[in-house]
Copies of this chain bind each other. A is one copy, B any other.
Amino acid sequence: MASRIVAISGGVGGAKLSLGLARVLDPDQLAIVANTGDDFDHLGLRICPDLDTVMYTLADVNNKELGWGQVGETWQFLDALEKLGGETWFRLGDRDLATHIQRTTLLRSGQRLSAVTASLCAQLGVEVPLLPMTDDDVRTMVFTQSGETLSFQHYFVRDRCAPRVSGFEFAGIETAAPAPGFISRLTDIELGAVIICPSNPFVSVDPVLALPGVLEAMQNSSAPVIAVSPIIGGEAIKGPAAKMMAELGMPITAAGVAEHYADRIDGFVLDHRDVQMQSQIEALGLKVLVTETLMRSLEDREALAKAVLGFVEGWRTRQV
């Protein structure tokens, strides 16, 4: 297949499908765009959790137990920082820290985040292009039902997603430019599909889709936009997506996710456990692929990637 794929990813779940895609496509057939709305500055360092999770996963140095940080991570830095009275609520491993320090050093030298990411990926042997969604600062803010507004990492890590959410804002999004190469890949005549990985719709995917020009480019392209459900059997595999859906008054179902995306996508990948929702989702005007979407093993990641690519391929064939 010569057509090109753009994958949009948040953290762990998105990284799993990104890895599957990277293993079944040539590096020049794929680009992965990662959410940077979770990024923040902490202890003087720029931390990009989703970008790092995808990068570490593609480089096979990710910590599979934790879902973040590097394999073989140790905590000497954090232990010493605690003794010095420093802020330790954000768990920075000794190896992970090197990424944040090197990134911050390169950013301070004047490089843009996309160039820095390319440099880090090259060092780690990652061949697939990995783009931050933007080089500009976009910061996801979480509105809570108590009336407090929290920065994303305060909500997510410090407060362990305990506050009940009422909505989100992506501060800075109006003036943020999609990273170099992002729009041109969406307008590429050889674009085969945009694949929205099974990531949190509200805080991982929506920021990417909300960037100026992204939705327009996707809508002007003949390539389908396909979302893979992050909800299976009424549960999120990882993270607070299901809790957020409940707090936002949405049904905690794959159909709820499909409805959230409905105006912005063409197809939806539904887990076979949720097959009873197929017609409900098709009624939204979406084509539906029903398949196994739970990715436990490396083979699962590749199998889902192949299934989604097959879905896309059939689409093209039907359209021609």
Contact = CB atoms under 8 A, between A and B. Distances in A.
Interface stretch (A102-110, A177-185, A294-302): A102-110
A95 interface: yes
Nearest to A122: B85
A223 B87 CA distance: 44
Contact of A77 (B86, B87, B97, B105): B97
A187 to B, nearest CB: 33
Interface in A1-15: none
A94 B74 contact: yes
A99 interface: yes
A85 B119 contact: yes
A108 B108 CA distance: 15
A76 B105 contact: no
B104 A77 contact: no
Interface centre among A45, A81, A98 (most CB of B within 10 A): A98
Contact of A86 (B79, B87, B105): B105
A105 B86 CA distance: 9
Interface in A89-147: 93-99, 101-102, 104-105, 108, 119-120, 123-124
Contacts of A84: 98-99, 102, 120, 123-124
Nearest to A75: B94
Nearest to A59: B83
A246 interface: no
A43 B79 contact: no
Contacts of A314: none
B98 A77 contact: yes
A99 B82 CA distance: 10
A286 to B, nearest CB: 41
Given A77-B95, A78-B98, 15 more contacts: A44-B108, A73-B76, A76-B76, A76-B95, A77-B77, A77-B101, A79-B95, A80-B95, A80-B96, A81-B101, A81-B102, A83-B123, A84-B120, A84-B123, A85-B102
Closest 10 CB pairs of A and B: A80-B98, A76-B94, A81-B98, A80-B95, A94-B94, A86-B102, A85-B123, A84-B102, A77-B94, A84-B123
10 contacts: A70-B80, A72-B76, A77-B97, A80-B98, A81-B102, A83-B98, A83-B123, A83-B124, A85-B102, A94-B94
